[in-house]
Structure 1
């Protein structure tokens, strides 16, 4: 950013300096000063007077004509002297040009100084430190030292802008990483004053309070957690905490459901996702329960010619619910009849899981164009309404052409 600003400043300077240099060159062309011009006029007047004296002596003009012509030359000399005194002196214009040039050179220095004193230099410094923390590998000691440095600068910045939500939340998250749950709770509380209806922020506040109170679901923690879930039922942090709450009360099925729903909105292959999967697996072992799975046997009506290699979509929707699929899989058509498996791990991002609803409808569609959107010429079949509990194997016949 600084290089861009410097380049633009230099470009602007060029457009101003070039005309000044041209003006300077013009001013350096030799010219007569006003005093020299007056002296030259006086010499010319004396020459004219000598010529008139010569004409008078030779009888070319008489005394009356001589007096009139001499008076006319004096009048011209006086008029020229008055006009020359009105001309501005060149050195003053020259000084004005250099004042403009000096101001141009000093302006960036003044702007940079003012920006450093009043502007966002502290914000830029914090941003650079956060980027360094996120992008440069470092050991635990260096990382902790950098975290402390960032926290110190953020705390200083918050003295001048105490309601800055980004700094409050980031500071709280860094304090959580350091195990400083008391200060983290305080930072989250201040951030919530600025954004009271932020579900994610509220869930992080509940988490900080949970750790501060020795990992116990006190009345305060429960209230904050319930408020976060009421604002956003798909909040992954709140769902994770809710699963822990259910697990500690031996409600393992509800814990599994909460963690599975959280798993839908958490990026795969992360530490958080691995922790949720471990919790689900452990709760299932306590229940002696496997992952909910549906085995779908698909056949095709003899009248339809479906070739190998065409794209087929198999998906499940909640009966009477939203049109968005709960789970789906895309595959290439092979030999029929075929068996396809759908389970809770295939649930769509941000949606419910298969085992969380009462009734389903399963569809199988062969797409002629390969598109996930149904189009003219596709072949389709469905199960109709089926009850989830107890239905582990279903059949579909593709018997309809769209």
Structure 2
């Protein structure tokens, strides 16, 4: 911050110079005015002396005129080159008062409305923290400086959880949800913090948060893990196994937490079998649909389209909602091209290829970039969503 204040001080000196220079010039003009007044007084004194000498008979009329003319020449010589006095409507005290008030007022306004704290935080975050406590202090200051930053609140909540401060984390996550909306991940984090803040006691509040999170996203990992923990603690081992198995399939193979999660499933299985129970087999997972299609343009249309025209390739259910189940966007310049349409390309979570047995492939060229209307189109025959062989789709018809 030292360089910032040095720059601010330099700018302040420049600003003050514009106020103080007129004052200094005014003082010089005052000195010249005072010297002129003194010369006039000396001239009047000399003339009075000559008049006295004339009355006493020492000087005659000719000598009197000569002396007066000499005194006048001396006065003119002394006052030659003196500028006419300037009249200031503001008065002399105002520039000095402004010179004092401007820096004081500017400093006060900056301290009130400025962002010196944010500048300092930016400088701090440019350097790696030396400890978790230092990181926590930085995040707390960042949240204080930007209380409406959902991102800052989220990272502070995660830091509190890492420091085993679930009570503080629950409050922070609640504020984050208020700012960012009721997103599944945030609800899961809030539920987890609240569960540990309550001493690992399940509550209606935690249940409501996890239910809302999983309703919006059935794969929300924090909620699945938390429900598994709560089920294990309450000796509902089969539920714990089910929740943790659902979580396990969401984790990438290289995730370090897979080993701990698999260990929890093993312990829950042993406890369930020790109590005389039997692990229920999980239903077979539905195979995700994946269609591969090669899209090309009919030869007679190549002269009628432009390279930058948009090409929308999508699959829609032959018996179901008209909305696309999966879509990709290319340009005419990309054709011919081979694309894959699968569950990962779903426009909405509930509308996936694997949820509909039969679909139709469509490719549309739209010069205006609108997926619902264009100039040219190509359609396939209905086919099973489980089809694995590559399909060929040619854009060859006017889009009506």
Q: TM-score range by the shorter chain?
A: 0.5 to 0.7
SS of the counterpart of 1:204? Answer: helix
SS of the counterpart of 2:242? Answer: coil
SS of the counterpart of 1:250? Answer: helix
Q: Which residue of 1 aligns with 2:73?
A: none
**Superposition map of 1:61-72 within 5 A:** none
Q: Which residue of 2 aligns with 1:178?
A: 163
Distance in 2 (CA, whole Å) between partners of 1:146 and 1:97 is 50
Q: Which residue of 1 aligns with 2:269?
A: none
Structure 1 residues 313 and 148: CA distance shift in structure 2, 3 A: closer
How far off is 1:292 after superposition? 1.0
Unmatched runs of 5 consecutive residues or more in structure 2? 62-84, 86-90, 229-238, 266-280
Structure 1 residues 303 and 172: CA distance shift in structure 2, 3 A: closer
Aligned pairs, number:
327
Q: Which residue of 2 aligns with 1:250?
A: 242
How far off is 1:377 after superposition? 5.1
Give yes or no for contact 1:361–1:382 (8 Å, CA) kept in 2: no
Distance in 2 (CA, whole Å) between partners of 1:301 and 1:39 is 108
How far off is 1:46 after superposition? 3.1
How far off is 1:199 after superposition? 1.0
Q: Which residue of 1 aligns with 2:344?
A: 345
Give yes or no for the alignment of 1:46 onto 2:31: no
Distance in 1 (CA, whole Å) between partners of 2:9 and 2:95 is 21
Q: Which residue of 1 aligns with 2:398?
A: 401
**Superposition map of 1:100-249 within 5 A:** 100=97, 103=100, 108=103, 112=107, 121-122=116-117, 124-129=119-124, 131-132=125-126, 136-137=127-128, 142-150=130-138, 153=141, 169-189=154-174, 191=175, 195=178, 198-200=181-183, 201-210=186-195, 212=197, 218-227=203-212, 233=216, 239-244=220-225, 245=227, 248=240
How far off is 1:203 after superposition? 4.2
Give yes or no for contact 1:168–1:187 (8 Å, CA) kept in 2: yes
Distance in 2 (CA, whole Å) between partners of 1:41 and 1:292 is 115
Give yes or no for contact 1:199–1:229 (8 Å, CA) kept in 2: no
Q: Which residue of 2 aligns with 1:13?
A: 16
How far off is 1:180 after superposition? 2.5
SS of the counterpart of 1:32? Answer: helix
Give yes or no for contact 2:192–2:223 (8 Å, CA) kept in 1: no
Distance in 1 (CA, whole Å) between partners of 2:292 and 2:326 is 15
**Superposition map of 1:87-102 within 5 A:** 96=93, 99-100=96-97
How far off is 1:297 after superposition? 5.5
Distance in 1 (CA, whole Å) between partners of 2:109 and 2:340 is 66
Q: Which residue of 1 aligns with 2:328?
A: 328
How far off is 1:229 after superposition? 6.5
Structure 1 residues 188 and 223: CA distance shift in structure 2, 3 A: same
Aligned-pair RMSD on alpha carbons? 5.7
SS of the counterpart of 2:29? Answer: helix
Give yes or no for contact 2:23–2:96 (8 Å, CA) kept in 1: no
1:16-54 per-position Cα deviation (integer Å, ceiling 9, x unaligned): 233334334434547437566445423322323444565
Q: Which residue of 2 aligns with 1:32?
A: 35
Structure 1 residues 40 and 57: CA distance shift in structure 2, 3 A: closer
Distance in 2 (CA, whole Å) between partners of 1:216 and 1:180 is 16
Q: Which residue of 2 aligns with 1:293?
A: 289
SS of the counterpart of 1:363? Answer: strand
Distance in 2 (CA, whole Å) between partners of 1:272 and 1:128 is 36
SS of the counterpart of 1:195? Answer: helix
Distance in 2 (CA, whole Å) between partners of 1:290 and 1:277 is 25
Distance in 1 (CA, whole Å) between partners of 2:368 and 2:253 is 32
How far off is 1:223 after superposition? 0.7
How far off is 1:116 after superposition? 5.8
Distance in 2 (CA, whole Å) between partners of 1:273 and 1:21 is 79
1:90-117 per-position Cα deviation (integer Å, ceiling 9, x unaligned): xxx88x488448626xx54785488669
Structure 1 residues 210 and 357: CA distance shift in structure 2, 3 A: farther
